[in-house]
């Protein structure tokens, strides 16, 4: 009987642990500006080239990657709460809208065509040439 009780006491804490990591939360539109303002979104593109994106108040967005490619464009929040970005050169100037999910400093922009994962570095960070 004591072995059964000890076994239950040893297993009980394991049962309370989540089986899967907590999922990221959709970023409410009202918080997008406060999360992105004065912050650097960084990640790697499909070719594994590091990039930085800056969302500025007033709907301006800038992009730079480690190979020296730069672009700028506009961003807005649509009626569904998604972030819509139109680049001057990239993506043929076509507007793309993304759902934004945040889990601590990890951020994911996704739509039916693509999913981009990145990190928030805090502040405006210069792009290293690593």
Domain ranges across the chain: 25-120
CATH class (in words) of the domain with range 25-120:
mainly beta
Question: Does the reported pTM lie above 0.85?
Answer: no
pLDDT at 5 > cutoff 60: no
pLDDT at 6 > cutoff 80: no
SS (H, E, C) 53-114: EEEECCCEEEEEECCCCEEEEEEEECCCCCEEEEECCHHHHCCEEEEEEEECCEEEEECCCC
Q: What is the pLDDT of residues 95-118, one digit of tens each?
A: 999 999 988 778 999 988 888 889
Separation between Cα atoms, residue 119 and residue 103, nearest integer Å: 10
52: pLDDT confidence band, cut at 50, 70 and 90?
Answer: very high
pLDDT of residue 13: 33
**pLDDT, averaged across the chain:** 79
94: pLDDT confidence band, cut at 50, 70 and 90?
Answer: very high
pLDDT at 47 > cutoff 60: yes
Q: What is the pLDDT of residues 18-41, one digit of tens each?
A: 332 345 788 888 888 888 888 899
pLDDT at 61 > cutoff 90: yes
pLDDT of residue 79: 92
SS (H, E, C) 25-59: EECCHHHHHHHHCCCCEEEECCCCCEEEEEEECCC
């Amino acid at each position: 009987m004591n072995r059964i009780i000890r076994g239950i006491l040893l297993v009980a804490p394991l049962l309370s642990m989540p089986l899967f990591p907590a999922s990221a939360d959709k970023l409410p539109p009202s918080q997008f500006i406060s999360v992105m303002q004065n912050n650097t979104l960084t990640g790697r593109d499909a070719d594994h080239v590091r990039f930085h994106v800056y969302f500025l108040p007033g709907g301006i967005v800038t992009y730079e990657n480690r190979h020296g490619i730069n672009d700028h464009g506009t961003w807005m929040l649509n009626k569904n709460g998604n972030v819509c970005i139109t680049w001057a050169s990239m993506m043929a100037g076509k507007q793309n809208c993304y759902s934004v999910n945040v889990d601590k400093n990890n951020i994911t922009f996704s739509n039916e065509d693509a999913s981009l994962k990145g990190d928030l570095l805090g502040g405006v960070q210069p792009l290293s040439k690593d």
